[in-house]
Chain A
Amino acid sequence: MSELASESSAQGAGARGHRTSEVAPRNARHVVVVGYGMAGSRLAEEIRRRDRAGERVSVTVIGEEPHAAYNRVLLSSVVAGTMTAESTRLHDEDWAQAHGIDLRLGVSVTAIDREARTVALSDGGELSYDALVLATGSRAWVPPTEGLRTDSGALAAGVATFRDLADCAAILDKARPGAPVAVLGGGLLGLEAARGLAGRGSLVTVVHPAGHIMERQLDPAAGAVLAKALAAHGIEFRVGRLAARYMPGDGLKLDDGSHVPADLVVVSAGVRAETTLAASIGLTVEQGIVIDDALRTNDPRIHAIGDCAQHPGTVSGLVQPAWEQAEVLADLLTGENPSSRYRGTPVVTRLKARDVDLAALGEVHTEVDSPDAEVLCLHDPARGRYAKLVLREDRVTGAIVIGAPDAAATITQLYDAKSPAPTDRLALLLGRALPSVGAVASSPADLPASAVVCRCNTVTKGQLVKAWRAGAVEVADLAKATRATTGCGGCGDAVRGIADWLARA
């Protein structure tokens, strides 16, 4: 029965759809991907990586936006002005053609019939599927602050969300050097936007309702250090405050009655998973579409990945989980590896903001006096540094690192590999191995005789001393006697130093 069904559906797709490729054989299973964002586009790539010729799976991708998928991670670079919209594109124009993908742009899904396994499209078309993948992403959440929306529900003049390329265009259109901008929301994306705009010369104020910025990823002390580091780039903060009202052309009035001038308000107050379609067909939806380790919804023919999905092992809103999910799902849909499963992604938060280095991972709210964990903390607000390390059973289980990029890199690798932390915890915390005692001798007298002075010719201090005592008192004579300095010449100063020291002694 199922074989027959899949055969007819593949034919159906071929007959009804405008095929960009003729490669799909009759018995290929038809996968319909709803959403051509970072998750949906990646899934199509991963499927074709495993099934290059489309022998096992034919793929249709439906994208609501009229243009090629782009890399959302780079939007903050677009706002910062260091990257063009064009350079964020994930695919070239001919990508779908070249990979045998049926790509429908500017089209949305209007209905799904789970019984008939069909999808109805906004252009009147209909597709059958063997497997349906929801990769519908998320949308910006706009708080119910008075004045942010017009009566029709559209964003008011001077208000922009920060979610897609069109938002970037709107922001860049309004943000002018010297003009005031308010950013609503001091989370990761809000701060990246704020840093980008400040870098372009806007006068940025971040309004954040919680007691400190990035409160999910940072403890209060780290939040304060980060705010101070960003303040050095001209960004002002109003934390613990809600916006009460927006007045176009003027700015925001906060809940304490104070006023934040703004020609532009960038709303970055969080996102909500796009689950409308899933809910409408009776799939289980909580914060997102609930999925299991095989990326299945409660309908085993329907999968969900990326921001719209809710998996117990990860948080949404980041690209890494979406890409790892796409790999697992491609394994399953192509039959490449039927035992492949998604077990969650350990999240490492990195702030992409020029000259401000922040990493946060794992348990960040564990305090130094916690009885059951080893916690180290360096708090150096004057120099914009904060480093906190949480270890359990010798493994890194959490960290916050601000202003110590080397430490962040090493700690992240230890966290990902679950490998034991170095015994020198301090060096780990600071990011650079401390010089071992005696490694740097301040004077030739401190060098042991066995120390190699000329590496190119393995000449020790002892040999130089012996040659000097035998009458080779000039560098040239020492070179002749021992060959020191005759390789790369890099030890010339050291040899001269030894000769001088012996002459003085």
Chain B
Amino acid sequence: MTQLAAPVVDTHCPYCALQCGMRLTGAQVEPREFPTNRGGLCQKGWTSGSLLTNPARLTSPLVRVNGELRPVSWELTLDYVAGRLAGLRAEHGPDSVAVFGGGGLTNEKSYLLGKFARVALGTSQIDYNGRFCMSSAAAAGMRAFGLDRGMPFPVEDLRKADAVLLVGANPAETMPPFMQHLTSTGLIVVDPRRTPTAEQATLHLKPRPGTDLALALGILHAVVADGHLRHDYIAERTTGFDAAWRIAAAWWPERVERVTGVAASDQRRAAALLAKARKAYILTARGTEQHARGTDMVGAWINLALALGLPGTPGSGYGCLTGQGNGQGGREHGQKADQLPGYRKIDDPAAREHVAGVWGVPPESLPGPGRSAYELLDALGNETGPRALLVFGSNMVVSAPSAGSVVDRLSSLDILVVADFVLSETASMADVVLPVTQWAEESGTMTNLEGRVLLRGKAIDAPDGVRSDLEVLHGLATRLGQPAERFPTDAETVFEELRRASAGGAADYSGVTYDRLRDGEALHWPVPSVDHPGTPRMFLDRFAHPDGRARFAAVDHTGPAEPADAEYPLLATTGRVLQHYQSGAQTRLVPELLDAVPEVFVEIHPDTADRAGLAEGAIARVVSRRGSTLARVRRVASMRTDTVFLPFHFAGEQRANLLTNPALDPTSRMPEFKVCAVRIEEA
């Protein structure tokens, strides 16, 4: 019997924002040449096909009956959910229903989810897990440049740089093929840990967790004191240097050394490496962004970039390394509490009028800004908070800070509905689970870390019983009384509407079409018309503020929200391992990845471990004011003696986020994932 050969489809990896090019033959993955990955794939990418055939795949809606999740038909399930939502809305108002999205959702899903919340539910209560990811960098970029696009230049430009400063980034594990672009001989890595990325650095600066801002001020001070300041650039292209300098002037490198532990001479060396490079970049990532002062921390690194004249200069620049697959597009099209499609502000009357026009609803019917992610989760089931939550593409039981209290909040809901393709920890708590398609089973666009829009076409058929998120939204919206055509189920149709909704906005996709993407055009937004070639490099002539200038931020160091003390004498920081992605809901199902890293561990300096009586391989209890985590001890001589590290990909008692501090950044509302006070003891 002859079988038809499986179709061969060029697509992109389902995981991180590098969106490596890959070729799918059935469920078989192979890397292919693409500028971001140059033919490379990490172990996550290589094994991603196994999720398409994974036995843990959900293929029927599940509804909790007598405490147990049981299969129920789609029609009954959607009727039930829509009925409950309508009832809550009638009784308690539209804000009693909340929506939580994700940075892995395609642009089409992000867009339609935002529209569904604002139009079908009429709720202001929508936010997404990108708040835990990119929000500080986005806020700081917005403040400095008037616009936020993670990397306002193509990834390949990095290869020509003489110096690159990576702050709180560990791409050797989080996006390994990216390392091919870090060929600069002047690689400087700022990280409290000696990560695989730091091992490749010319200069590794190891600040005490939570002191990055002081370090940025010290390096800026060294730039000025050692005569490296780009006076012409500052005069022509920026404002606010004097106020920023008044603060940095008080942070001479020796003073910074005492706060950060980074040698003054190393701060000066970093300044000199960057200043003497003909082409240089500063890149930030979660390590410096996930703080209760994350926006200011990023602002301090941008100040340094501006002092050196990097942003908007060909061959140089500042960028942030977006994490989630569609972390960039996901923050542009309306699943953020304060935004409408096209990266528009929801409280801007002109933006409301434009988007309402595209949606065919009166502008005044659109709700205003809602709660940010952690505030939303923290309000669930409270007197004034939402009573129902719909979750798409997020697993907050593992990924939210102070995860123990988030579980309490989720438990107090009237109804929790989770759309996912596996039974994540959050889905397993739900009252209703909706099985949805995954990456290769559907079409949609993603916007990668350099602002390039990519088409991920459908490669294989989904199993029976599975529907796409777009179909779910359509099914619910029509049951809530919306006209069918307002919630299309075809991705390209949704994208056509997104193009119109984003037209004229900061993130203008109106010139992007599926046909242009199918033809392989490299389209970096903004693309304001179909004959526009896209914008690979931004800010070359002017920044996006009305005066065309970039703004220095007057930011000062204040230290972590929860410093170490006698009771909790160590600082915990969290991060990632190569083999797992985010909450691990997907990667923990891939045997090859789970075999490599099967459980949570805590990295700890041997001296610190000895004092706690912890041998290599022992189980330690790591305790913070919010909870405790059980983790296997890894004694690592390169750790700071005052710091421990845990990856956050694991579930149950292994959740690193049981420890983390939900202190929020005043601007971005980013929680302080990257530093909290802990003690460590034998379990």
Known: A82-B227, A422-B607. A455 touches B196 (CB 8 A): yes
| Beta-carbon contacts under 8 Å, A384-423 to B | 405-406, 408-410, 412-413, 416-417, 419-420, 422-423
Contact of B43 among A412, A413, A436, A457 (CB under 8 A): A457
Check A82 against B225 for contact (C-beta < 8 Å).
Answer: yes
Residues on the B chain within 8 Å of A331, using CB: none
State the Cβ distance, B208 to closest chain A Cβ, in Å: 7
Does A373 count as interface, using CB distance less than 8 angstroms? no
Known: A87-B224, A486-B46. A357 touches B243 (CB 8 A): no
Instruction: Please report the total number of B residues contacting A with Cβ < 8 Å.
Output: 53
Stretch at the interface among A208-216, A252-260, A374-382, A487-495: A487-495
Most chain B beta-carbon contacts within 10 A, residue among A71, A409, A412, A436: A409
Does A73 count as interface, using CB distance less than 8 angstroms? yes
Interface 0/1 of B171-207, CB less than 8 Å to A: 0110011111000000000000000100010000000
Determine the distance from Cα of A487 to Cα of B578 in the docked complex, in whole angstroms: 11
Check A489 against B578 for contact (C-beta < 8 Å).
Answer: no
Interface 0/1 of B588-629, CB less than 8 Å to A: 000010001000000001110011000000000000000000
Interface residues of chain B: helix, strand, loop or mixed (majority): helix
Check A352 against B254 for contact (C-beta < 8 Å).
Answer: yes
Check B265 against A92 for contact (C-beta < 8 Å).
Answer: no
Residues on the A chain within 8 Å of B173, using CB: 455
Check B249 against A486 for contact (C-beta < 8 Å).
Answer: no
Does A89 count as interface, using CB distance less than 8 angstroms? yes
Does A88 count as interface, using CB distance less than 8 angstroms? yes
Most chain A beta-carbon contacts within 10 A, residue among B42, B178, B208: B42
Check A433 against B637 for contact (C-beta < 8 Å).
Answer: yes
Contact of A486 among B40, B261, B265 (CB under 8 A): B40
Check A73 against B265 for contact (C-beta < 8 Å).
Answer: no
Check A490 against B607 for contact (C-beta < 8 Å).
Answer: no
Contact of A357 among B176, B264, B610, B641 (CB under 8 A): B264
B593's nearest neighbour on chain A, judged by CB, is: A458
Determine the distance from Cα of A278 to Cα of B28 in the docked complex, in whole angstroms: 84
| Beta-carbon contacts under 8 Å, A308-349 to B | 320, 348
A70's nearest neighbour on chain B, judged by CB, is: B249
Check A409 against B257 for contact (C-beta < 8 Å).
Answer: yes
Determine the distance from Cα of A383 to Cα of B361 in the docked complex, in whole angstroms: 77
| Beta-carbon contacts under 8 Å, A178-212 to B | none
Check A420 against B41 for contact (C-beta < 8 Å).
Answer: no
Check B261 against A91 for contact (C-beta < 8 Å).
Answer: no
| Beta-carbon contacts under 8 Å, A433-447 to B | 433, 436
Check B246 against A458 for contact (C-beta < 8 Å).
Answer: no
Determine the distance from Cα of A220 to Cα of B246 in the docked complex, in whole angstroms: 39
Known: A82-B226, A87-B224, A357-B264. A350 touches B254 (CB 8 A): yes
Check B43 against A458 for contact (C-beta < 8 Å).
Answer: yes
Determine the distance from Cα of A436 to Cα of B180 in the docked complex, in whole angstroms: 29
Does A74 count as interface, using CB distance less than 8 angstroms? yes
B266's nearest neighbour on chain A, judged by CB, is: A405
State the Cβ distance, B82 to closest chain A Cβ, in Å: 45
Check A423 against B258 for contact (C-beta < 8 Å).
Answer: no
Check B262 against A409 for contact (C-beta < 8 Å).
Answer: yes
B638's nearest neighbour on chain A, judged by CB, is: A433
Does B250 count as interface, using CB distance less than 8 angstroms? yes
A436's nearest neighbour on chain B, judged by CB, is: B637
Residues on the A chain within 8 Å of B41, using CB: 483, 486-487
Does B521 count as interface, using CB distance less than 8 angstroms? no
Check B252 against A74 for contact (C-beta < 8 Å).
Answer: yes
Does B92 count as interface, using CB distance less than 8 angstroms? no
Does B276 count as interface, using CB distance less than 8 angstroms? no
Instruction: Please report the total number of A residues contacting B with Cβ < 8 Å.
Output: 43
Check B208 against A420 for contact (C-beta < 8 Å).
Answer: no
Residues on the A chain within 8 Å of B579, using CB: 458
Does A83 count as interface, using CB distance less than 8 angstroms? yes
Does B245 count as interface, using CB distance less than 8 angstroms? yes
B41's nearest neighbour on chain A, judged by CB, is: A486
A408's nearest neighbour on chain B, judged by CB, is: B263
State the Cβ distance, B230 to closest chain A Cβ, in Å: 14
Check B243 against A92 for contact (C-beta < 8 Å).
Answer: yes
B261's nearest neighbour on chain A, judged by CB, is: A413
State the Cβ distance, B98 to closest chain A Cβ, in Å: 35
Residues on the B chain within 8 Å of A352, using CB: 252, 254
Known: A405-B264, A406-B263. A488 touches B179 (CB 8 A): yes
Contact of A419 among B38, B178, B196, B642 (CB under 8 A): B642
Determine the distance from Cα of A82 to Cα of B641 in the docked complex, in whole angstroms: 36
Interface 0/1 of A65-98, CB less than 8 Å to B: 0000001011001000011000111111000000
Check B226 against A423 for contact (C-beta < 8 Å).
Answer: no
State the Cβ distance, A318 to closest chain B Cβ, in Å: 11
Check B607 against A92 for contact (C-beta < 8 Å).
Answer: no
Check B176 against A487 for contact (C-beta < 8 Å).
Answer: yes
Check B176 against A87 for contact (C-beta < 8 Å).
Answer: no
Check A417 against B642 for contact (C-beta < 8 Å).
Answer: yes
Determine the distance from Cα of A73 to Cα of B248 in the docked complex, in whole angstroms: 13
Residues on the A chain within 8 Å of B518, using CB: none
Determine the distance from Cα of A88 to Cα of B249 in the docked complex, in whole angstroms: 7
State the Cβ distance, B13 to closest chain A Cβ, in Å: 12
B255's nearest neighbour on chain A, judged by CB, is: A320
Residues on the B chain within 8 Å of A77, using CB: 225
Determine the distance from Cα of A437 to Cα of B177 in the docked complex, in whole angstroms: 31
Check B180 against A420 for contact (C-beta < 8 Å).
Answer: no
Residues on the B chain within 8 Å of A320, using CB: 255
Determine the distance from Cα of A423 to Cα of B607 in the docked complex, in whole angstroms: 7
Determine the distance from Cα of A126 to Cα of B416 in the docked complex, in whole angstroms: 70
Does A456 count as interface, using CB distance less than 8 angstroms? yes
A483's nearest neighbour on chain B, judged by CB, is: B46
Check A456 against B42 for contact (C-beta < 8 Å).
Answer: yes
Known: A487-B42, A488-B179. A405 touches B263 (CB 8 A): yes
Check B180 against A488 for contact (C-beta < 8 Å).
Answer: yes
Check B224 against A83 for contact (C-beta < 8 Å).
Answer: yes
State the Cβ distance, B246 to closest chain A Cβ, in Å: 7
Contact of B249 among A71, A410, A424 (CB under 8 A): A71
State the Cβ distance, B115 to closest chain A Cβ, in Å: 38
Determine the distance from Cα of A149 to Cα of B569 in the docked complex, in whole angstroms: 56
Q: Which 3 A-B pairs have the closest CB atoms?
A: A488-B179, A350-B254, A405-B265
4 more A-B residue pairs beyond the given contacts A87-B224, A420-B607, A488-B179, with a C-beta to C-beta distance below 8 A: A405-B266, A458-B596, A489-B38, A490-B200
Cross-chain pairs A/B with CB under 8 angstroms, 9 sampled: A73-B252, A74-B249, A89-B246, A90-B249, A91-B246, A348-B258, A416-B258, A422-B607, A488-B176
**A interface vs B, CB < 8 Å?**
71, 73-74, 77, 82-83, 87-92, 320, 348, 350, 352, 357, 405-406, 408-410, 412-413, 416-417, 419-420, 422-424, 433, 436, 455-458, 483, 486-490
